[in-house]
C-alpha cells in the first residue's frame, strides 16, 4: 500500500481547530489503498512560551523526513510582549518556508458558483497567485540605527535574485500553460525600479519560451483596483513575496472570504517537503469558539493531496467542498460541523474495497 507520511503543525488559535477537520477530511478522501500516518508537532506560540523553543535545526531535520506538512496558523496573543516583533511568525513559519525552499507560494482563488462575493458583479473568478516565497522584503535584511533617537533609521531591504525570480516566473508560465494561458506580472516598477527591472526582464525572457501564453503587467496599486472591478481578467498572477501576501488576502475576500482561501508552500523539485496551510492566521478574535471556517484548511489539504500525486483524492475533497458550499444556508455551523459534513461527503465518494 501507498503510505502518505505527514507532519502536522496545528500551531495556535484557530489553526488547531481547522487542522483537525482538514486531517479528518484528508483521511476520508484517500480510500483504503493509501495509509496515512501523521506526526503532530507542537510548535507555536504556546510551545515557545512553555519551553523557550521555536523551531530548532534538529526539528527541521526531523520534519524533512516527512512527505508533506499540513500547517494551521501561528500567532499568539497580540498583546503579549514576549511575542512581539513576529518572533513566532518569523522563527517558525518563515523559517520553514526558507529552510525547505518553498519558493512557490501557490494561492489559488476560485469563486464557487454558490458562494456570494462582496462584489456586485464578479464574473468568473478563477485565478492563481504565484507568490515568491523565499525572498523579497521577507528575508530580514535590514536594521535600525540610532534607535530611540529622533534620528532613528530603519531599513528593510528587499532581496531579489535572478535565480529566485527566474525559477518562480518559470513556474508561473508553466502553470499558465495548463490553465488560461495568461500571466500577469504585478510589481511597482515605477518606484521600485531596481527589483522592478529584474522582474520585468526575467518575465519577458521567460515569456519568449511560451509563445502561446500572453502576459501583461500591472502596478500593484492598479492590480488592487482590477481585483475588485474585473477579477475575471486574471489567470496566473506572479509577484513578489510582500505584494503576494497582500493580494492574496484581497483575493480571499472577493471570493467568499478568508475562511475559504487555501495555499501551498511548494518546493516543486521535491528536495524538501512542501507545506500546505490556509491563507488566514490564528484569528485570536474567534479562537477557541468553534467559529472558524475550516474550509480553507480543507482545501489546503486538497492541494497537498494533489501535490503528493493523489489527484483523485484531491478532487473528491474539492467536489465535497463545492457541494457543501452549495448547501450552506445562512445557518451558522461550528467548525466541527462543517468539517464533519465535508468529511461525510468525501467518505461517501471514496472507494471502499
What is the three-class DSSP state of 121? coil
Is the Cβ of residue 239 or residue 295 nearer to ligand NAD in the bound state?
Answer: 295
Q: Does 292 bind ligand NAD (CB under 6 A)?
A: yes
- Picked from ligand NAD, ligand IPM, Mn ion, none, the partner binding residue 323 (CB below 5 to 8 A depending on kind) is none
CA distance 143 to 216: 35
Nearest approach in angstroms of CB 248 to Mn ion is 6
For ligand IPM, the closer of residues 141 and 147 by Cβ is 141
Q: Interface residues for ligand NAD in 137-166 (CB under 6 A)?
A: none
Q: Which of 128, 279, 283, 310 is close enough to bind ligand IPM by CB under 6 A?
A: 279
* Contact between 27 and 347 (Cβ < 8 Å): no
Tell me which stretch binds ligand IPM (CB under 6 A): 86-94, 150-158, 196-204, 341-349: 86-94
Cα distance between residue 268 and residue 263, in whole Å: 14
Choice among 110, 138, 170, 235 that is catalytic = 138
Encoded one letter per residue, x for contact with ligand NAD by CB under 6 A and - for no contact, window 253-282 reads -----xx-----------------x--xxx
31: left (phi over 0), alpha (psi -120 to 50) or beta: left
Q: Which residues pair with 126 in a beta bridge?
A: 110
- If one asks whether residue 21 binds ligand IPM (CB under 6 A), the answer comes out as no
Beta strands in 96-203, from DSSP E residues, in sequence order = 104-110, 126-132, 142-145, 153-156, 182-187
- Binding flag, residue 275, ligand IPM (CB under 6 A): no
- Measured from the CB atom, is 283 or 314 closer to Mn ion? 283
Q: Which of residues 237-256 bind Mn ion (CB under 5 A)?
A: 245
Instruction: Identify whether the C-beta of residue 260 lies closer than 8 Å to the C-beta of residue 302.
Output: no
**Residue 249 annotated to the active site:** yes
Among 51, 44, 56, CA closest to 19: 44
Scan residues 49-88 and list those touching Mn ion (CB under 5 A). none
Q: Which residues of 244-276 are buried (b: 16+ CB within 10 A; e: fewer)?
A: bbebbebbbbbbbbbbbbbbbbbbbeeebbbbb
- Annotated ligand binding at 292? The verdict is yes
* DSSP three-state, residue 290: coil
> Cβ-count burial of 301 within 10 angstroms (0-12 exposed, 13-18 middle, 19+ buried)?
buried
Tell me which residues touch ligand NAD (CB under 6 A).
14, 73-75, 89, 93, 258-259, 277, 280-286, 292-293, 296
List contacts with Mn ion (CB under 5 A): 245
Cite the active site residues.
Answer: 138, 188, 221, 245, 249
- Chain residues that interact with ligand IPM, rule: CB under 6 A: 89, 93-94, 245, 279, 281
Amino acid at each position: 500500500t501507498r503510505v502518505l507520511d505527514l507532519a502536522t503543525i496545528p500551531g495556535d488559535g484557530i489553526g488547531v481547530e481547522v487542522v483537525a477537520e482538514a486531517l479528518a477530511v484528508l483521511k476520508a478522501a484517500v480510500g483504503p489503498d493509501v495509509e496515512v500516518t501523521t506526526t503532530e508537532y507542537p510548535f507555536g506560540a504556546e510551545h515557545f512560551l512553555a519551553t523557550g523553543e521555536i523551531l530548532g535545526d534538529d526539528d527541521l531535520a526531523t520534519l524533512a523526513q516527512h512527505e508533506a506538512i499540513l500547517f494551521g496558523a501561528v500567532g499568539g496573543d497580540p498583546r503579549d510582549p514576549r511575542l512581539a516583533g513576529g518572533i513566532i511568525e518569523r522563527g517558525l513559519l518563515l523559517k520553514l518556508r526558507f529552510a525547505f525552499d518553498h519558493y512557490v507560494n501557490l494561492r489559488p482563488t476560485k469563486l464557487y458558483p454558490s458562494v456570494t462575493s462582496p462584489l456586485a458583479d464578479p464574473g468568473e473568478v478563477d485565478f492563481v497567485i504565484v507568490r515568491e516565497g523565499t525572498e523579497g522584503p521577507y528575508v530580514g535584511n535590514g536594521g535600525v540605527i540610532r534607535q530611540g533617537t529622533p534620528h532613528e533609521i530603519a531599513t528593510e531591504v528587499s532581496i531579489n535574485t535572478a535565480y529566485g525570480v527566474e525559477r518562480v516566473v518559470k513556474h508561473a508560465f508553466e502553470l499558465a500553460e495548463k490553465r488560461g494561458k495568461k500571466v500577469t506580472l504585478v510589481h511597482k516598477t515605477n518606484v521600485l525600479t531596481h527589483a522592478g527591472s529584474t522582474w520585468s526582464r526575467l518575465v519577458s525572457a521567460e515569456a519568449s519560451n511560451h509563445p502561446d501564453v500572453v502576459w501583461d503587467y500591472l502596478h500593484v496599486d492598479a492590480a488592487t483596483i482590477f481585483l475588485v472591478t474585473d477579477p475575471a481578467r486574471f489567470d496566473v498572477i506572479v509577484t513578489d513575496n510582500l505584494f503576494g501576501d497582500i493580494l492574496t488576502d484581497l483575493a480571499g475576500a472577493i471570493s467568499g472570504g478568508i475562511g475559504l482561501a487555501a495555499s501551498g508552500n511548494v518546493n516543486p523539485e521535491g528536495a524538501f517537503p512542501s507545506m500546505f496551510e490556509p491563507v488566514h492566521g490564528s484569528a485570536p478574535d474567534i479562537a477557541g469558539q468553534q467559529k472558524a471556517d475550516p474550509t480553507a484548511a480543507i482545501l489546503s489539504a486538497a492541494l497537498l493531496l494533489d501535490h503528493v500525486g493523489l489527484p483523485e483524492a484531491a478532487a473528491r475533497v474539492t467536489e465535497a467542498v463545492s457541494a457543501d458550499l452549495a448547501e450552506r444556508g445562512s445557518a451558522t455551523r461550528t467548525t466541527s460541523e462543517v468539517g464533519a459534513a465535508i468529511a461525510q461527503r468525501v467518505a461517501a465518494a471514496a472507494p471502499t474495497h
